[in-house]
Structure 1
Amino acid sequence: MTDGFLHGTVHTAGADMQAAVSADRDTLALWQGLTPLGRNEFICWVDDAKQDKTRARRIARTCDELHEGKKRPCCWAGCIHRTDKPPSAWQQAVLIDKKAT
């Protein structure tokens, strides 16, 4: 984190996300005010996008949601990459084991 941009507990924001968040001083301040876990959730959600246009849309939505006062991405089950806690039963079944519910 030598660049001064704060990342998540597990994930590091990509250059595109860093540029979008840093482009506006207020957005950057809101980002820096999140907990490391909150930043991690947003980064994981953005990184989970399969297409570039979805990723770009999620980055823009991250900036919007920060201004709406959100601390985590809306409708996101949570990061399954964390090692400090096991995934929930739902995360394990649906996101990791890919079982239909």
Structure 2
Amino acid sequence: MSPLGRNEFICWVEDAKQPTTRRRRIERMRDELFEGKKRPCCWAGCIHRTDKVPSRWQQAVLIDQQAKKSR
């Protein structure tokens, strides 16, 4: 698995707001990795992607994260 694929799975799991969704995503991630998938399907929210410009939503997330770290 590439570092980008790993980061996308991690971001996908961490992006879940509720613990039940996070657990469900962890289980799905485990199953998909066993099936040989390299990235989460249909999720473009990863801020680690460098092959395209971040969307407005991703930029807002980055700004929010930076603000929280500086507090």
* TM-score when normalising by structure 2: 0.69
Query: 1:74: how far off?
Result: 1.2
1:49-92: per-residue Cα shift (whole Å, max 9, x none)? Answer: 00000000000000000111110001211412x385631xxx32
Q: In 2, Cα distance between the equivalents of 1:61 and 1:40?
A: 16
**What is the deviation of 1:43?**
0.1
Q: 2:7 aligns with which of 27, 34, 40?
A: 40
Distance change in 2, residues 1:83/1:60 (3 Å): closer
2:33 paired residue number: 66
Q: How does 1:8-87 map to 2 (within 5 A)?
A: 34-80=1-47, 82=48, 84=50, 86-87=53-54
User: In the comparison of the two structures, how many residue pairs are matched?
Assistant: 58
Cα distance change, pair 73–84 in 1 and its aligned pair in 2 (3 A): closer
Question: How has the CA–CA distance of structure 1 residues 53 and 70 changed in structure 2, closer, same or farther, with 3 Å as cutoff?
Answer: same
Gaps of 5+ in 1: 1-33
CA 1:66/1:83 → structure 2, altered by over 3 Å: closer, same or farther?
A: closer
- State the identity %: 66
Partners of 1:57 and 1:69 lie apart in 2 by 18
CA distance in 1, matches of 2:31, 2:2: 18
